[in-house]
Amino acid sequence: MDAHLLEFLGLLVRWLHVIAGIAWIGSSFYFIWLDNSLDPVPAGSEAAQKGVAGELWAVHGGGFYNPQKYAVAPASLPEKLHWFKWEAYTTWLSGTALLVLVYWLRAQSMMIDPTIAVLGSWQVVGIGVAAMVGSWLIYDTLCRSPLGKSEVWLGAIVFGFVILLAWSLGYYFSGRAVFMHVGSAIGTLMAANVFFVIIPGQKRMVEAMRTGRLPDPADGVRGKQRSVHNNYFTLPVIFIMISNHYASTYSHKHAWAVLMLMAAAGVSIRHFFNRRHKGVLAWQYLVVGAVFLGSVAWWTAPRLVPLPKVEGPVTFDQVRTIVGQRCVGCHSPVPTFQGITQPPGGVLLQAPDGLVRNAQKIYQQVVVTRIMPLGNVTQMSDYERAVIAAWIASGGKSQ
């Protein structure tokens, strides 16, 4: 029952994380679109005299809307002012909770790969925490340095840092854990931008107006910069959120590089849309994104590792013995492997019909991607993989 409750808690937290993420990313997309789509108000118009820098007209859901953006702030604040922050905080809190439930509490099975590094659970969790906190400190320092005045150079350096982070984590974590911890580090940058920079700046601007002082335009500039950064982070983060369903990416020998190519594609595609909102058809960024995606498709295509030759016909009993020793500890109704509370992917292999029904999945995960067993923690040999491959090649039958 405890295992079931833990699994169900994970389901609820994941659901909350997705819902909050949709709200946060949706508002990011909307406000960047809004900012890029504003038309300058005519000089001398009533709006211009009120300090409005741009506006637009839109129709949605049967109604007409007229959003306006002030160059700095209006002459006086309305009593009711909407803030956009809880989507960010909820996304980060739920995502971190999910990281704890799925990875940190199951570090032995979800993060550690003995073929990469022999570490204890507390060590890999410590590295994960350091990646999140350290990434924010480095990124924030870069933004506040003179480098922060050049968006091109700042963007290049930040992307280079993320590459270094992914590459470094690859020396300690399994590929899947590398992806998730790079995602958690980027998510931390995004949430910290809101918590430490954007919202405090907005509060200072509001407080200045309420005390009769002029708001500091620098707060608006810093907030806009970090908001734009968050917008470019969104597509790489979304890819990482769904990547655990696609073993060909995180199981690759150079998983960190695959991740960076996908991230670069996301940034390039996001830039195309941001430019398009300004009325510029910068199609070359779509082409660049497509090239990166095509490169990943080619690079991650299945390439079978040569396996030992299996002499004679393979029997079902041979395969069942191998699976019983190497796989059933996780893939059974009540898993016995530490940290696993439910059979991964709902795949059950303890009975003959489960083996036959999942033969192609076994082939993909055990022979092609070799991602299973996770981190090869049960030490499946190449010969055992060859036996499974031979059985499936002969039809994958139980007789």
Residue 82: CA count within 13 A, CB half-sphere: 3
SS3 310: coil
Written as one letter, the residue type at 184 is S
pLDDT-based confidence at 302, cuts 50/70/90?
A: confident
Q: Is the pLDDT of residue 232 over 90?
A: yes
Query: Domains of the chain: which residue ranges?
Result: 2-37+77-251, 41-71, 316-393
- Going by C-beta distance under 8 Å and a sequence separation of 6 or more, which residues neighbour residue 162? 182, 185, 186, 260, 263
* Residues 175-199 pLDDT 10s: 999 999 999 999 999 999 999 999 9
* DSSP SS3 for 63: strand
Distance between CA 303 and CA 309 in Å, rounded? 17
Q: Who wins on pLDDT, 326 or 5?
A: 326
Q: Which residue has the higher pLDDT, 378 or 295?
A: 295
| pLDDT value at 379 more than 90 | no
From CA 138, how far away is CA 168, in angstroms rounded? 15
Residues in the chain: 399
Question: Among residues of the chain, what percentage have pLDDT more than 90?
Answer: 59
Q: What is the pLDDT of residue 19?
A: 97
Q: Which pLDDT band holds residue 210 (cuts at 50, 70, 90)? A: confident
Tell me how far apart the alpha carbons of residues 365 and 399 are, in angstroms, rounded to a whole number. Answer: 23
3-class SS of residue 67? coil
* Burial annotation 204-234 (CB, 10 A radius, 16+ → b, else e): ebeeebeeeeebeeebbebbebbbbbbbbbb
Distance CA 92, CA 87 (A): 9
Q: pLDDT at residue 1 above 60?
A: no
Does residue 214 or residue 289 have the better pLDDT?
Answer: 289
Residue 259, pLDDT above cutoff 90: yes
β 58-60/63-65 pair status: antiparallel
For 84-107, how does the pLDDT look when each residue is reduced to its tens digit (9 = 90+)?
A: 999 999 999 999 999 999 999 889
Q: Decide if pLDDT at 351 tops 70.
A: yes
Prediction pTM value? 0.85
Q: How confident is residue 339, by pLDDT bands cut at 50, 70 and 90?
A: low
Distance CA 204, CA 199 (A): 9
Cα angle 373, 256, 358; round to 5: 30
- Reply yes or no on whether the pLDDT at 266 is more than 90: yes
pLDDT bracket for residue 223 (50, 70, 90): very high
- In the structure encoding, which two tokens stand for residue 57, read together? 């007209």
Mean pLDDT for 224-251 is: 93
315-332 residue pLDDT tens = 888 989 999 999 988 898
Q: Is the pLDDT of residue 268 over 70?
A: yes
The yes-or-no verdict on residue 38 having pLDDT over 90 is: yes
Task: Please report the pLDDT score of residue 221 as a whole number.
Answer: 92
**Residue 166, CA distances (Å) to 49, 107, 118, 254, 258 in order:** 50, 18, 19, 10, 10
Contacts of 12 (CB under 8 A, 6+ apart): none
More reliable by pLDDT, 57 or 364: 57
